[in-house]
Amino acid sequence: MKIIKTINEMRDFRRNNAGSVGFIPTMGYLHEGHVSLVKLARQENNYVVISIFVNPKQFGPHEDFAAYPRDTEKDITLLKNAGVNAVFLPEVEEMYPAGFETYVSLETLSKKLEGKSRPGHFTGVATIVSKLCNIIQPDRAYFGQKDAQQVVVMKKMVSDLQLPIKIVVGETKREKDGLAMSSRNVYLSEKERKEASVLFQSLQLANEMIQKRERNSEIIKKAMSSLINETSGTIDYISFANPKNLDEVQIIENEVLISLAVYFGKTRLIDNIVVHSV
Ligand code: PAF
């Protein structure tokens, strides 16, 4: 496995390795969710490249950029066993040199859901992913469904910019109690960690209500909120949206993306499921 720290070296790797490349962009502190994306990429490509870069442009001024968990040594050990060909570890100074001023921004999709609570977040994500894809030139890029809006934003960006890249989505990996795996789970205290399974429980409750033919999203939101409010969690939002354009839906028909963000202390957790109504 090659460890690559500069853009020139990364471009050389790509030039010297003809064949398809599967790319997994990450911010490190890797878990089983990332490893499952590596496995998917290995099945479909000649080479697998993963990047580890905590992207300052996707954090708001009051968010956790400085505190974001980092353990590159541990990540590299995990990746060696997972069958990755190259790990790209660029420096912030090389990705965003002084005077950097060009951004990729989606006019409407980036302002919905997460974008309302985290203004500028998706501009940061779209900018870094398009830069990394430009350098690595992958055939396929892999993202987890846990960040549902990120997937929608990536698909739209690739389509609008006519990038010759297929976006592949891996399912959300969960802990035994249903909590979605996330690098941020490490912030939770023991009590918060126990309570945090309520995100998935509330999503399951929503699913059950829909299967029992409840179609009014406001009624389901109330039931989800009551469940979450039994814990110390503070709800940022609960959303029922069209999975393709992320427009909010009142009356559920066909497919609906149910997503939520909940704070436990300072830790903001997100999760989602897509439900097909019958
Ligand atoms: O999902 C993430 O970890 C980040 O948003 C990504 C895609 C690596 C861009 O920095």
CA-CA distance, 224 to 236, in Å (whole number)?
13
pLDDT in tens, 23-79: 999 999 999 999 999 999 999 999 999 999 999 999 999 999 999 999 999 999 999
Whole-number Å distance, alpha carbon 127 to ligand 1 midpoint, is 11
pTM of the prediction? 0.97
2-170 CATH choice from 3.60.110.10, 1.10.10.410, 3.30.230.70, 3.40.50.620: 3.40.50.620
Residues of the chain with CATH 3.30.1300.10: 183-273
- Ligand 1 close to Cβ of residue 182 (< 6 A): no
Mean pLDDT of the chain: 97
Q: Does the active-site annotation cover 276?
A: no
pLDDT-derived band at 82 (thresholds 50, 70, 90) equals very high
Report the CATH number of the 183-273 domain. Answer: 3.30.1300.10
Is the predicted pLDDT of residue 277 greater than 90, yes or no? no
Whole-number Å distance, alpha carbon 27 to ligand 1 midpoint, is 6
CA-CA distance, 58 to 119, in Å (whole number)?
9
Is the predicted pLDDT of residue 278 greater than 80, yes or no? no
- Ligand 1 close to Cβ of residue 58 (< 6 A): yes
DSSP code string of 26-76: E-SS--HHHHHHHHHHHHH-SEEEEEE---GGGS-TTSSTTTS---HHHHH
pLDDT in tens, 146-178: 999 999 999 999 999 999 999 999 999 999 999
- Ligand 1 close to Cβ of residue 127 (< 6 A): no
Residues of the chain with CATH 3.40.50.620: 2-170
Nearest atom in ligand 1 to 154's CA: 7
Closest CA to ligand 1's atom 3: 26
Is the predicted pLDDT of residue 131 greater than 90, yes or no? yes
